[in-house]
Amino acid sequence: MFRKTTLKNGLRIITVPQKSTQAVTVLVLAGTGSKYETKETSGISHFLEHMFFKGTEKRPDKLAIAETLDKVGGIYNAFTGEECTGYFAKVASSQFDLALDWVSDIYLKSILPEKEIKIEKGVITEEINMVYDNPMAYAGLLWNKLLYGDQPAGWDIAGTKESVNAMNRPELLNYMNSQYVASNTIVCVAGNINDAQTISQIKKKFVQIKTTLPTKKAQVVESQMRPACLVHFKQTDQTHLCLGARGYHLFHPKRYVQDILGIILGGMMSSRLFIEIREKLGLAYYIKTEVDSNPDTGYLVTQAGIDNHNVAKAISTILKEYRRISQKALSRAELKKAKDYVQGKMTLMLESSDALASFYGAQELLERATLTPKEIYAKINQVSWQDILKVAQDIFQPKNLNLALIGPFKDDQNFQQLLKSWSQEF
């Protein structure tokens, strides 16, 4: 289903032929993100991502960059995370040459115009303001801050207004030259392609990529001995909360058990928390449980928007479900439903070329190993109800528990007491 090719310079190429589509996606991933930054350069990965759309030698300005794919109805964008930065173009397969030329051009030959840096400071500042004015999104930032504090894993990927306004071209160039190198880059192409021809074309486009060694990230420090709480006061009509626990990283042997645990708790409309919080009690419109696993960090978190007067009741109900799944074995039917849900969703998702490119590219970048869907399904099917019980007992210990919320509350006393009471009962 896929082919991995590693060039002598360290560049990794993944090709995923898909004859059932008329589309093709070119995705280039750099193994760098906000976890690779310092306090002074916080937000530089994200800033650089924006600057790659401002001009190259071949396409000298932002209009030329945008028009290239607009003229053929292409879908293109970029993203920045904690561990990686990605650039992609999805086009009709007949336009593959154009998409590869465009992505390789911005990735290797962006000129970072000085005047555009000044303009982009304003753009990114407004992006930060947008998140701060969106309590649902801001709760997620508070969650990371609570877990990891004043270190890269706890900072906003976009940086701060101060760090963004202090950004300059020499810093951007230095970061680009140090991180956007062959051994830190993956080119993944999925869709209606000829495998051999695609690899040959990628080799030609990326022949000039730098071959120096990239800068490594600082090790994440995790330290927690008791339940923790972070309350951000804002006069909102609804409280947005994140309640969960530290969990397993990508390389933990029980990571797939943790994934299934998250699905059972709040990953689907028939999950325990969705039924209890929304359908039975009517406390929330949205409630979801997500699992996040990175190479060095991991957590399970339930996020919800609750009427300000019902926050304590919602928190108590979530904690009750955490306790219940830690103490009582689930039925085989419920476990099978969660497994089938994961497999069904993945099957549907991987019908598109962009999802296939991300699926294989992200695995190779973060894990240096790539599993097919069938291999992942096999691991999921090995999960037993005993595994769920043991992992829930391990994760939902008081020392792992965290609550971050944004709402009209000026102190955290009541919330601390809720966590303390639950811990004593646990």
Mind telling me the catalytic residues?
49
Structure tokens at 19: 């004859």
CA distance readout (Å), 227 to 137, 244, 399, 424: 23, 10, 5, 11
Please name the residue that has the structure tokens 């309590």: 135
In this structure, is the dihedral angle defined by the CA atoms of residues 101, 203, 170 and 57, taken in order, positive or negative? Answer: negative
The alpha carbon of residue 119 and the mean position of all alpha carbons in its chain are separated, in whole angstroms, by 27
Measured CA distances, 38 to 18, 34, 58, 175, 300 (Å): 41, 9, 32, 11, 26
Give the CA distances from residue 3 to residues 112, 189, 370, in Å, rounded to whole numbers and listed in that order. 34, 10, 10
What's the angle, vertex CA 79, arms to CA 190 and CA 23, rounded to 5?
25
Question: What DSSP string describes 299-352?
Answer: EEEEEEEEEGGGHHHHHHHHHHHHHHHHHSPPPHHHHHHHHHHHHHHHHHHTTS
Write out the E strands in 106-184: none
